[in-house]
């Protein structure tokens, strides 16, 4: 049983460009969340998707957007990249959106913005 898979593993972009990161949740999971982990910091919540809709959002600008597909996979899009967007982007899934659920994390996409 595959866990949470993310692609690509590494990505290099330049300022102003746009990027799309992809995530496939663990089998049986229908809720996907995205986190940004800057170097030396803890992960910061970006948003959560459930039933193909954004359900919760953290303190991130509108340049960060997402999508969830009928098969529960998800994309994170970032427009107009800034140097400060360089980070490890983690996708997490859970079997429901319940507050007592633990999250299963992928290995992340390392984004470097030059």
Partner 1 sequence: AQSVAQPEDQVNVAEGNPLTVKCTYSVSGNPYLFWYVQYPNRGLQFLLKYITGDNLVKGSYGFEAEFNKSQTSFHLKKPSALVSDSALYFCAVRDKAGGGNKLTFGTGTQLKVEL
Binding site for partner 1 (CB under 8 A): 4, 31, 33, 40-45, 48, 55-56, 58, 90, 92, 94, 97-108
Name the burial class of residue 98, with classes exposed (0-12), middle (13-18) and buried (19+) by CB atoms within 10 angstroms of its CB.
exposed
> In the bound complex, what is the minimum distance in angstroms from residue 60's beta carbon to partner 1?
12
Which of 16, 99 has the CB closer to partner 1?
99
> In the bound complex, what is the minimum distance in angstroms from residue 74's beta carbon to partner 1?
15
Which of 8, 16 has the CB closer to partner 1?
8
Q: Tell me the helix, strand and coil percentages in the chain, rounded to 5.
A: 5, 50, 45
> In the bound complex, what is the minimum distance in angstroms from residue 15's beta carbon to partner 1?
25
Cβ-based neighbours of 7, under 8 Å, separated by 6 or more: 21, 22, 109
Which of 40, 84 has the CB closer to partner 1?
40
What is the Cα–Cα distance from 59 to 49, expressed in whole angstroms? 16
């Amino acid at each position: 049983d595959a866990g949470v898979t993310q692609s690509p593993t590494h990505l290099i972009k330049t300022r102003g460009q746009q990027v799309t990161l992809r995530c496939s949740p663990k089998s049986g999971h229908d809720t996907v969340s995205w986190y940004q982990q800057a170097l030396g910091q803890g992960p910061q919540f970006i948003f959560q998707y459930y039933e193909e809709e954004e359900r919760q959002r953290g303190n991130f600008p509108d340049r960060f957007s997402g999508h969830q597909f009928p098969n529960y996979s998800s994309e994170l899009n970032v427009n107009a990249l800034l140097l400060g967007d360089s980070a490890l982007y983690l996708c997490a899934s859970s079997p429901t959106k319940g507050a007592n659920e633990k999250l299963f994390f992928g290995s992340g996409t390392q984004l470097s913005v030059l």
